[in-house]
Amino acid sequence: MAEWITVGKADDIAEGDATAFDVNGQQIAVSRVEGTLHAFSDICTHRQCNLSLGGEIDGTTIECECHGSVFDMATGEVLEGPATEPIEVFGVSDEGGDLKIEA
């Protein structure tokens, strides 16, 4: 059963940015788009590059800077290769200012 883990303050996630957190040994990135938080695996499924480090966010998509794979941060879906496998997405919430990820 998944549990909600506090990883920081929700206000630390700026609009249009993504920040990665170590959650039980897994790198999970959190982004904020139009005020909505999204949590997803920070590791590109193509060549294991970190998406939050230099990944370009456009709406709810993030493009891996290594080889250009594009993922939907809300669903994990691959929108453009070379990646063929989706990234995992996670529940995320702002509870009284605390940033919580369901992992």
Distance CA 92, CA 82 (A): 27
Residue 86: per-residue pLDDT: 98
Mean pLDDT within 48-54 = 94
Longest dimension (CA), the chain: 39
Is pLDDT of 1 > 80?
no
**What's the rounded Cα separation, in Å, for the pair 86 and 103?**
17
CATH architecture of the domain formed by 4-102:
3-layer Sandwich (2.102)
**pLDDT greater than 90 at residue 90:** yes
pTM of the model: 0.94
Domain segments of the chain as ranges = 4-102
What does the pLDDT look like over 3-24, one tens digit per residue? 999 999 999 999 999 999 999 9
Beta-strand pair 89-95/70-72? unpaired
Residue 32 pairs with which residues in a beta bridge?
15, 37
48: exposed, middle or buried (Cβ count in 10 Å: 0-12, 13-18, 19+):
exposed
